[in-house]
Amino acid sequence: TIAKDALRAQPKAELHVHIEGTLEPEMVFELAEKNGIVLDYPDAGTLRQAYNFQDLQSFLNIYYQGVKVLIEADDFFELTYNYLRHAHEDGVVHTEIFFDPQSHTDRGISLAAVFEGINRALAKGQKEFGITSRLIPCFLRHLSAEAAMETLHALLPYRDFFCAVGLDSSEKGNPPSKFSEVFDKARAEGLLTVAHAGEEGPASYIWEALDLLHVARIDHGVGCESDDELCRRLAAEQMPLTVCPLSNIKLAVFDDIKGHNLKRLLDRGLCMTVSSDDPAYFGGYLLDNFIAVQTGLDLTWDEVTELARNSIRASFLSESEKLEWL
Ligand code: ES4
Ligand code: ZN
């Protein structure tokens, strides 16, 4: 096996992390107390015991409960700063962070507070740890396309603070095609696009993300394996997949790490990357995900370094910024 320190020392970009998914149970309780919010669980330990998911939806139900303790800009600051500290400890040099604006604005929290808190943490993280960051607001696909379009318009005054838009939440029954107009508008505004596709959903959703949403990366994408033509296309275009191994196990996308298709897809020439998704819920940050796939899939040093280098290549850093890490 490869030493943890060697994996840590490899420069890595984290391209798929939901900031609301870095909310540890202890912080849930700390913020609930500060903000006067009553929780359904007596303590952090009990809450953590509830992190036993059958599928994506059973996870999302708990995740959206946790989000409700985030009220003030300072809460978003603390959340984001804590994540960056973890990321830095794992050898992450750059991170592209998702957040769910609708899960906050629908509770009466202003986008101004969300951006102010997160941006303050990103600036401190860059100063203190040298870690660079981009933000990617995601539309909640279980809500309507109209709600997503309204959210895009509400985001545009903050255009300078994010580089792309994404699509997340309950995948099945909410195909990328539902959001083609919203993504057209986002691209017309000069934004890049990404989308969760092929996490639990079918390969056809990955085709739609490519052809209708014109994404620059596919988030998860592990569902491509059943479609040979799609796999050939993803490899030919070197379309990055941001795969989240511990997430996939916790949400029963794969039974266990040995059955994960990361290595099989890497062997087929796809541009694979590794991320942590919702580390507070899925049992580990980025280094834990690297260790899980390295040991579980017997990855060689060359394979591990390819995954790390792919994350830099697939990032939205400029070509000159990428060169510093490649
Ligand atoms: C998510 Cl794992 C996952 N999948 C889809 N949407 C999400 N939002 C937060 N985590
Ligand atoms: Zn995700």
How would DSSP label each residue in 171-185? -TT--GGGGHHHHHH
pLDDT at 180: 98
pLDDT class of 1 with cuts at 50, 70, 90: confident
Domain boundaries, the chain: 4-23+73-315
Residues at Cβ < 5 Å from ligand 2 ion = 277
278 lines ligand 1 (CB under 6 A): yes
Q: What is the ipTM of this complex?
A: 0.98
Pick the residue whose CA is nearest to atom 1 on ligand 1: 169
Q: Which of 16, 22, 53, 60 to mutate to test the pocket of ligand 1 (most atoms within 8 A of CB)?
A: 60
Ligand 1: which atom is nearest the Cα of residue 199?
Answer: 4
DSSP 8-state assignment for residue 149: H
Give the pLDDT confidence score for residue 116 in this predicted structure: 98
Strand (E) or helix (H) holding 253: none
Nearest one of 289, 234, 288, 309 to 264, comparing CA atoms: 234
pLDDT digits (tens, 9 = 90+) for 304-326: 999 999 999 999 999 999 999 99
Over residues 248-268, mean pLDDT = 98
- Nearest-10 crossing angle of helices 301-313, 286-296: 140
Could you give the CA distance from residue 145 to residue 285 in angstroms, rounded to a whole number?
32
- Please give the structure tokens belonging to residue 53: 């998911």
Residue nearest atom 3 in ligand 1 by C-alpha distance: 169
What is the spatial distance between Cα 261 and Cα 271, in angstroms, rounded to a whole number?
13
Do 168 and 251 meet the contact criterion of CB atoms below 8 Å apart?
no
Q: How far is it, in rounded angstroms, from Cα 92 to Cα 129?
A: 10
What backbone torsions phi and psi does residue 168 show, to the nearest 5 degrees?
A: -140, -165
Among the atoms of ligand 1, which is closest to the Cα of residue 277? 2
CB atoms within 10 A of CB 304: 19
Q: Best of 170, 196, 289 to mutate for ligand 1, by most ligand atoms within 8 A of CB?
A: 196
Q: Any bridge partners for residue 140, and if so which?
A: 168
Q: Is the CB of 94 under 6 A from ligand 1?
A: no
How far apart are the CA of 10 and the centre of ligand 2, in A?
23
169 lines ligand 1 (CB under 6 A): yes
Q: State the average pLDDT for the chain.
A: 98
CATH T-level fold of 4-23+73-315: TIM Barrel (3.20.20)
Instruction: State whether residue 139 is helix, strand or coil.
Output: strand
Give the rounded percent of residues in the chain with a pLDDT score beyond 90: 99
Using the 8-state DSSP alphabet, how is residue 277 labeled?
Answer: B
